[in-house]
Structures are given as C-alpha cells and as structure tokens.
Chains A and B, each alone.
Chain A
Amino acid sequence: MRALGQFFQGRRRGVSNRKREVWRMSIGQELKKEFSTLTLVLMPIAIGINIVGGVFIVALKLPIYLDSIGTVLVGILAGPWAGAVTGLLANVIWGLTIDPVAFPFAITAFFIGLVAGFLGRAGMFRTLPRALLSGAIIGVMAATVSTPIVVYVFGGVTSSGSTFITAYLLATGRQLIQAVFSSSIISDVGDKLITCLVAYLIVRNLPARLRSRFAQARVLA
C-alpha cells in the first residue's frame, strides 16, 4: 500500500511532493507518539476510572453518569486518537462486564474521546469557562451521535429518565428522531458539562512532574 502511495507521489513534481511526504511521515510519527507505552498504561486506568467513578456517583446519589471522565482525561493528556480508542474500548469492556447494552454506544464514546482530545489540543481546557464550553460542545456532539443509535437500535428508548421526555415529546406530535434528540441534549449536555468540569479540575491540580510526561499535557503546563 505504502509503495503505491509513494509511487504516485513520485509522479508529482515540485515542493508539494516533499511536503506531502513530510506530512504523511509526521502523522505516522504522531500516532506512534500518541500511543506510547505511557499512554497505553494510562488507558486501562482511565477505563477503570470510568467504571469505578460510578461507585462514587451511586454513593452520593448524584443524577449524572460521569462514565466518560477517564475518556476525556486521556483525550486531554494523550491526544484525540488515544482518547477515542479509550472510549471505544471502555464501552466494549463495560459491555463485557456490566451491561451488554453498552456495546452500540461505543461509537459515541469514540467521538467523545476524539473531540475532547482535539479540544484539549486547541487549549480549550486551559481555563474554567473554556472547559465548560468544551463540555457543552462534547455534550451536543454526544447527543447527535447517540440519537441515531437510540432510534435505530433501541426504538427510541434509553435506560434513563430522558425516555419520559421523549415520550412526552412524541405525544405532542413530534417525530421520533426529534424527540430523542431533544431529550438527549438535555441529559448529555448536563452530564458532559460536569464531566469536563471535573476533568479540568483534575488536570489543573496534577503535579507538574506528572503532567509533563504526557505528550499533549505539556500544553497545559
């Protein structure tokens, strides 16, 4: 595959040729750096935090999930693709151990990690207001990606209270997709706002020595 690509590259002329090679090389290198052993060691811990954080939520009887906190953290600290893979695997593992219903939502988790990573790279977790904005962005995105899943796989129902809102909206005559999207927005944005707030506070309070180890976190130092 790569030989083919280089063959076609050789065909083109001029500076753009070399630029493209450098660009391709640096993406490969970047990915490699993003998935360094350090990141790989962080991921199980992050996935564990996703799952275990729920214990605290239940103990405190808070009305949120907070099941993406680890995913967002990996996105911020290690980069978008690491965050995306973390989210994906987190849902796979959640499906294997706790609730098989989580499998289809691995796509949503993938995007949560991805977007969190890009937002982190753009410095959107440097200040509190920016972090909250990131939470809103991720929340809307999560609702957008999960709505088709909820509609086509689950027929519009979820295991949370947002289904009641969906039902109400249906009763007032809306289409299923609209109803699900509207109710998802409310619950997802709220949850992701809090998730990003917690993530911001955690990253902020990490000792500098730890922060500097991670590929992307140096930006936040």
Chain B
Amino acid sequence: MGVAGVDDRVPVLEARDVRFRYAPNLPWAVDGVNLQVFPGEVLGILGENGAGKSTLALVLAGIIPRLLGGEFQGRVMVDGRDMQEFSAGELAGLVGLVLQNPFNQMTGLAATVFDEVAFGPQNLGWPRQVILSEVEAVLDRLGIAHLRNRNPLSLSGGEQQRVAIASVLVMKPRLLILDEPTSQLDPAGTESIFALIGLLRKQGYTTVLIEHKVEAVAEVCDRVLLLRQGRVVLEGTPAEVLGDARVVEAGVRRLLYSELADTVRSFGYAWAAGRMTSYRDTVAVLRELTERG
C-alpha cells in the first residue's frame, strides 16, 4: 500500500476542491480539501479540535449540504458519480457514518436491538425476508447477536456504538466513516470498537477513521491525512505522518516511539533511531542498546 506516486485504482470516494462554511460570516470549516479513499483501505484523518474533521465527515457522508444549510463548493463523488446527483432515496445508505455519541444514534423508535438495526433497511423498502436475514447476518458479524432482544436505550456506550455500526453496515454502504467513535466510551468500550475496526478491515471494508488517538490510528490505518484549519497538510503512511515533526504544529501528538527516536538520535544513536518505526522494533532496538552498553 504505497503512498506517493500514481494510484490507478478507482477511488470509492473522492473529494475535489471541497470548501464549506456554515454561514457567510464564519470561516471556511473545510477549506480546499482533496482526498481519495480507495477500496478496502482504512484511511485515517487526524487533526486537532476545530480543524474541521467532523464537518468533513458530514460532507463526505452527503449530509452537508443537503440536511444542513451553508455554502458548499467543490465536488464529492462516490464511484465516480457526483453526490448531488443522487436522489435522497439513493443517497440513504450509500455512505455510512458513525458519530461520537452512541446514545444519539439510537432512533428511540425500536424496542429491541434487532428492530433498531432493521430501521434503515425498512426505510429503504427492502423485502421483509431480506431484512430479516441481513440483520441477523450483520449482528453475527459484529458479535452482538446476544443483544438482539435488548432495549437499545439501556445498553452501555460501547454496546450502543456497536449497534450503531451494525445499523449503518446493514444497509451495505460503499464505505464507512467513523467520527471519533470512541471519544465518549470507557477503555473497555474503546478497545471493543478498535477490535471491531480491525475485524472490518480484515473483511475488506473501506473505512475512514477520524480520530485523536494516534496509537490506534497507527495500528489500524493504511494511510493517514493530517487536517489543519480545514486543509490537508500531510499525507502518507502512519509512520511517515506521525513521525513528521510538523504534526505537533497541527495539534496532534506524535507517536511515543517517534519522540523516543528523536531523543535517541540526539544522543548520537542515529542508527537506532532510524529503526524505531513501531513499538515492537523500538523494544528490540532498546534491548540492543542496553546490551551493547
């Protein structure tokens, strides 16, 4: 999964020169973003609060400008087709979006998790039998089949978030966008979500993950973008981007081992620093260093 250079795969989602602001007197929340998401990859988007990540998520999901007003420029294309050309009916379920607050994504209409997940396909008018089997399948795939008769409003945050992901995946979107899905969860919930993302990646889903937690991003993403003030300022593999000193300006913490590598380099061990590109390698290098004395 290379980075620079020519990529001749057709992107699932593409944004070209996208700019957006909520009102004429406000600054551009998204200020000239070009990005592509390729099939099967997990794209990470990093940036500090206010960099425009959530707004970008809404843009990529087609919610902006359709649901919320504002000034929108540029094009967002799914499989090469401009989003604005889709009717509201076609757009539903095209791009999946999972938000931060698990509770707010429960419709409040469903008495059971099964009904909750079935809500989307019901709206899309799928045949009854298809809905029943698809919902079962997605509940199994995400490991929440044991929750199927529970009231969605009574679940824990992590469970609700998994139900939210299921509710979105069941509609078979072209890609899944996750906007800081763990920011309101406890550590156990967080872990379950990232395990789920790893699982989805293995199953070949195309995913965009917007996150703060740099370690998780480094772990699970194939490519990473750094967003600053509505613009993409860095692009590359997680190691490349998070190893770059510029992330600090953009309000993003560097990976621990990158910071350690800098320190090691400053002590004169450039060869060691160069090899510290993952936690495992870092531990190995440190062991070597201490053995050599």
Contact = CB atoms under 8 A, between A and B. Distances in A.
- Of A37, A38, A44, A212, the most chain B CB neighbours within 10 A belong to A212
Interface string A113-146: 0000000000000000000000000000000000
B67 A212 contact: no
Contacts of A209: 22
Contact of A37 (B22, B23, B67, B108): B67
B4 interface: no
A213 interface: yes
A212 B23 contact: yes
A213 B68 contact: yes
Contacts of B23: 212
A212 B108 contact: no
Interface residues of B, number: 5
Contacts of B68: 213
A13 B251 CA distance: 66
Contacts of B108: 44
Interface residues of A, number: 6
Interface in A4-58: 37-38, 44
Interface string B5-45: 00000000000000000110000000000000000000000
Nearest to A221: B23
A39 to B, nearest CB: 12
A124 B68 CA distance: 26
A133 to B, nearest CB: 31
Nearest to A36: B67
Contacts of B22: 209, 212
Interface in A163-221: 209, 212-213
A123 to B, nearest CB: 20
A132 to B, nearest CB: 31
Contacts of A44: 108
Nearest to A213: B68
A209 B69 CA distance: 12
Interface string B67-88: 1100000000000000000000
A126 to B, nearest CB: 20
Nearest to A38: B67
Interface in B56-72: 67-68
Nearest to A215: B69
Contacts of A212: 22-23
A182 to B, nearest CB: 42
Contacts of A213: 68
Nearest to A45: B108
Nearest to B23: A212
Nearest to B68: A213
A212 B26 CA distance: 12
A44 B108 CA distance: 10
Contacts of A37: 67
A209 B26 CA distance: 11
A123 B22 CA distance: 24
A192 to B, nearest CB: 29
A37 B108 CA distance: 14
Nearest to B67: A37
B130 to A, nearest CB: 26
Interface string B103-117: 000001000000000
A209 B54 CA distance: 15
Q: Which 3 A-B pairs have CB atoms at the shortest separation, nearest pair first?
A: A212-B23, A37-B67, A44-B108
Interface of A: 37-38, 44, 209, 212-213
7 contacts: A37-B67, A38-B67, A44-B108, A209-B22, A212-B22, A212-B23, A213-B68
